[in-house]
Structure 1
Amino acid sequence: MRLLFRADGNATIGLGHVVRSLALVDMVRTVAPCWFAIQNPSAAIRELLGQAQVTLLELPVQPIAQEAAYLAAQVQPNDVVVLDGYSFDTAYQHTLQTSGCRLVVIDDLRAWPSAADLIINHSPGVTPAMYQARAETRFCLGPDYSLLRAPFLAGFRLPAPPTPAEKVLICFGGADPLQLTSRFLAALLPVEAVAEIGVITGSAFPHTPQLQELAAGYPRKQVTFYQNAAAPQMADLLQGHDAIVCPASTILIESLFLGKAVATGYYVENQRHLATYVHENQQAFSLGDLNNIAVGDLQAILTEALYYLEHHPRQPYVQAPGPGRLQNEFRHLLPAGPEIVP
């Protein structure tokens, strides 16, 4: 028996699907040995997989439609295959199931009918009725099933009381193809109340010299750059800042689990729901569609967000983490074994 994870990540789409899948690996690795299948893994992804202690199954570079048949030939009937990505449509899923495997889909898009035995979506406000799924499909939906790495689950805390945002951390993912990091750093540097700024990027981010040049124009401002932060360091960095500026992706959920004040927003459609939800439920402040904020308006809008976070109590995103629930769901997919307590 294996748990075989399939996700992609690169400089174009970022590493979010890979990181999220590896978070699930952390939660369920006691259920069965974990493998990870991917095409053309970069050095950064190889490092992540090595840190996660999963076995790499490197797939030939080929169109997704052809890959499904290739992967199905590598899969055994007792395996559980976990898909996380926006290319693994209904046809791909049906092809995989010809191997006899059980299928788990991490699906926050809901764009096509699903053949999965188990659907996971840790976005809030989602119900089974929103999916086109089989009658016997099981669901793990909502923040109680948040796919976070161990340091963020271990560091869980309820929201801290409002505090001045003197130390602000910016993180727009490892690749940041839209260069939002640069735009937000340029807007934040002139804000007098912010004394220290941390900037997190990944190995796929090519514009660090430009960021450093921006920061050099404000010699009295302490700006620190971090690259390729592993999960324990990332958790420490989030904890060490008063406010976080990030998109409505996994890093938003990580920050909320650590009780942090967050200014967020969305730049792709699948982030819109989470950004809206946390704003409406007073869990974070959403700037809305980050693509539509004019450069000249960004500083004022960001200042407004920080002021709000400094003066308004926040509601918890979840009351307590519960990774044991996902472990039990995966055990249901394998030959009968003892159930663990969440």
Structure 2
Amino acid sequence: MKKVRPIIAFRADGSATMGLGHVYRSAALARMLAPVADCVFFSRAIPTGLTEMLSSSYEASYELAVPAADEVNTMVEQLRKHYPDRPYTFVLDGYHFKTAYQRSIKALKCLLVCIDDIHACDYVADLVINHSPAANLTDYVGETYTKYALGPRFALLRNPFLVAAQSAENNLSAKRDRIFICLGGADPKNDTLTILRKLADYERVPAVDVVLGPAYAHQKELQSFLTDTTLKIELHRSLTAEQLVDLMQSSVVGITSPSTVSLEYLSAGGKLFLHQTADNQAGIYAGLIEKGLALDVATMDAEAFVSTSEKTPSPMDGRQAERLRKLFAALDLTWRLATADDSDLYLAWANDPDVRAQSFDSSLISPSEHAAWFRRRLVDEQSCLLIFERSRKPVGRVRFAVVGNEATIGYSVAKESRGHGLGVPMLHFAVDALRRERPKIERFIGYVKEGNIASVTTFRRLGYREEPTNDYPDALKFVLYDL
């Protein structure tokens, strides 16, 4: 029987005044999920100039010409009409989708995901995505079941940028002799012109590529400046993601707003300078500056264009799409602390032949030995044992041993639940659960036998770095620093 593909319904708005960031990043996520779901788009008004981009990202787009109070019912009616008997997940991207709006969707027994960057309300969503480097679990108030995908490991990037992040050609030996400027889809205050005037004060400025968004409304002023300036400027509009990557990869310096375009530039470009154009960009701005990933454009001088020996370090590894697909596939996954009643279950999982084969000590564990170990771990403050469940059925476990600011991970998936991609979401959600309780933990460490391909792949997919170790024979050590 052919597997029924789920429907993921996206709700976002954009305009010349509010910008197009919500629309762009929602579309990027839709493309990431396209291999596993059919995505549709709902908006109060389809932004002018984005029809082609939306059609390449979604199965269909619908305008909501109804009062705001009737939006949710209208979306559900459309979904039932066009996609009957299909499971629905909603994705909201916008500051007006506050707690009450979210509750109206959860009341339908639907799964819900929110894309956020300002954490201005309480969340009842199943998953919150915030790709800002400054995103922190302590910023959020959610339900006990609410899960989070925070930081650049979950950046909402289009596929060409993910490819560029993995490309061996994306290095300093590439010819980089231009300046890249892009201040978003709207640039309502015409900060592009402000930046160009700053560049005009320098001598020997490289050629400049200026990318204008579809909602840019200051063409007349810009053309007047171009008539008088000696800068070599090429204007670009309606570029594909592939064309943007090409421009970024030829640039020694990028000047962008601290929005999604800045994360795109970190995947493909050279040294990054930021110019904040909206209040909602404060989080990405602070995170990139604090982590040394970018500089404020106010600190830029002519020397920035001379040397190609510097490249902004990048947190992008190109695996964002596969991470997010794994999390979406496990939105119904829940976890709880283990209790004394779980002792036999833990022992059965631990003595599973496949688990023993991948353990550094492969001998069977005796019931008495396990019972003593389990009792100690339940009361040990440096230990944490989690049970993961799906539809109230146990599917796996994750355990932590904490020493100082480090936590060592052990995990296994129940035999009957293997092959369903649960390793990545289990480990990610478990780490977040422990971080909430113990925010001072700075590093998570996993030891894996070299031949344990499934676990090696899981840690790599989650962005853990491989480090040399002599702690165990034939072991690989994986460490997660980016918290």
TM-score, normalised to structure 1, is 0.86
1:279 and 1:286 in contact (8 A); partners too: yes
Alignment of 1:273-292 (within 5 A): 273-287=283-297
Q: Decide whether the 8 Å contact of 1:12 with 1:175 is kept in 2.
A: yes
2:214 to 198, 203, 207: 203
Residue among 242, 245, 249 paired with 2:252: 242
Query: Which stretch shows the higher mean deviation, 244-253 or 325-334?
Result: 325-334
Distance across 2 between alignment mates of 1:302 and 1:166: 16
Per-residue Cα deviation, 1:25-56 (whole angstroms, up to 9, x for no partner): 11111221111111121331322211224311
- The answer to whether 1:315 aligns with 2:325 is no
CA shift digits 1:275-300 (9 cap, x unpaired): 2222232211124xxxxxxxxxx6xx
Deviation by residue 1:119-158 (Cα, 9 ceiling, x = unmatched):
1111124333321111111211111111100000000159
Specify the alignment match of 2:186 in structure 1: 175
- Matched with 1:293 is none
Q: Distance in 2 between matches of 1:308 and 1:68?
A: 54
Q: Residue 139 of structure 2 corresponds to which residue in structure 1?
A: 130
Aligned to 2:444: none
Report the alpha carbon displacement of residue 72 of structure 1 after superposing the two structures with TM.
4.6
1:25 maps to 2:23:
no
Partner of 2:92, secondary structure, is strand
Aligned to 1:290: none
Aligned to 2:421: 339
Answering whether residue 71 of structure 2 is matched by residue 67 of structure 1, we say yes
Asked whether 1:51 is paired with 2:56, we answer: yes
List per-residue Cα deviations over 1:87-143 (Å, max 9, x = no partner).
Answer: 100000011122221100012111111010111111124333321111111211111
SS of residue in 2 equivalent to 1:274 = helix
Q: Is the 8 A contact 1:44 1:203 kept in 2?
A: yes
Aligned length in residues: 328
> For residues 149 and 325 of structure 1, what CA distance do their matches in structure 2 show?
14
Aligned residue for 1:14, secondary structure, equals coil
User: Equivalent of 2:323, from 309, 322, 325?
Assistant: 325
Query: Which one has more relative contact order, counting CA pairs under 8 Å at least 6 apart?
Result: 1
The answer (yes or no) to whether the contact 2:156–2:320 under 8 Å persists in 1 is no
Q: Give 1:215's match in structure 2, choosing from 202, 208, 226.
A: 226
Rounded Cα–Cα distance in structure 2 between residues aligned with 1:275 and 1:73: 40
Alpha-carbon shift at residue 224 of structure 1 (Å)? 0.4
RMSD (Å) for aligned C-alpha atoms: 2.8
CA distance in 1, matches of 2:175, 2:52: 37
Secondary structure at the counterpart of residue 126 of structure 1: coil
Moved more, 317-326 or 243-252: 317-326
* Counterpart Cα distance in 1 of 2:176 and 2:202: 11
Q: Which moved more, 1:321-330 or 1:268-277?
A: 268-277
Any idea what the Cα deviations from partners look like across 1:152-187, whole Å, max 9, x if unmatched? Answer: 000015985599985212111121111101111122
Distance (Å, rounded) in 1 between the aligned partners of 2:233 and 2:128: 41
How much has 1:78 moved relative to structure 2?
2.1
CA distance in 2, matches of 1:302, 1:145: 29
8 Å Cα contact 1:73-1:99 kept in structure 2: no
Structure 1 residue 59: Cα displacement: 1.2
| Residues 130, 149 of structure 2: 8 Å contact kept | yes
Mapped contact 1:165–1:310 kept (Cα < 8 A) = yes
Structure 1 residue 311, shift from structure 2 partner: 7.0
What is the match of residue 104 of structure 1?
113
Amino acid at match of 2:217: P
Instruction: Find the aligned partners of 2:56 and 2:220 in 1 and give their Cα distance.
Output: 28
Structure 1 residues not aligned, in runs of 5+ = 288-297
Query: Contact 1:156–1:259 (CA<8 Å) still a contact in 2?
Result: no
Distance 1:127 1:277 in 2: 10
Alignment equivalent of 2:45, drawn from 40, 45, 54: 40
Structure of greater Rg: 2
Q: Report the 3-state secondary structure (helix = DSSP H, G, I; strand = E; otherwise coil) of the residue aligned with 1:225.
A: strand
Asked if 1:261 corresponds to 2:271, the answer is: yes
Say yes or no: does 1:7 pair with 2:12. yes
Q: Secondary structure at the match of 2:113?
A: strand
In 2, the alpha carbon distance for the partners of 1:156 and 1:232 equals: 13
1:134 alignment partner, SS class = coil
Q: Give the distance between the partners of 2:14 and 2:66, measured in 1 at CA.
A: 14
Contact 1:166 1:193 in 2 (8 A): no
Cα distance in 1 for partners of 2:39, 2:210 equals 32
| Dislocated runs of 4+, deviation >4 Å | 72-77, 157-166, 307-313, 334-337
Other-structure match for 1:155: 164
Distance 1:164 1:306, change over 3 A: farther
Q: Does the Cα contact within 8 Å between 2:16 and 2:216 map onto a contact in 1?
A: yes
CA distance in structure 2 between the aligned counterparts of 1:23 and 1:254, rounded to whole angstroms: 11
Closer, same or farther: CA 46–125 of 1 in aligned 2, 3 Å = same
Q: Which moved more, 1:307-316 or 1:46-55?
A: 307-316
* Separation of aligned partners in 1, 2:59 and 2:205: 41
CA contact 1:2–1:79 (8 Å) conserved in 2: yes
Shift of 1:202: 2.0
Which moved further from structure 2: 269-278 or 197-206?
A: 269-278
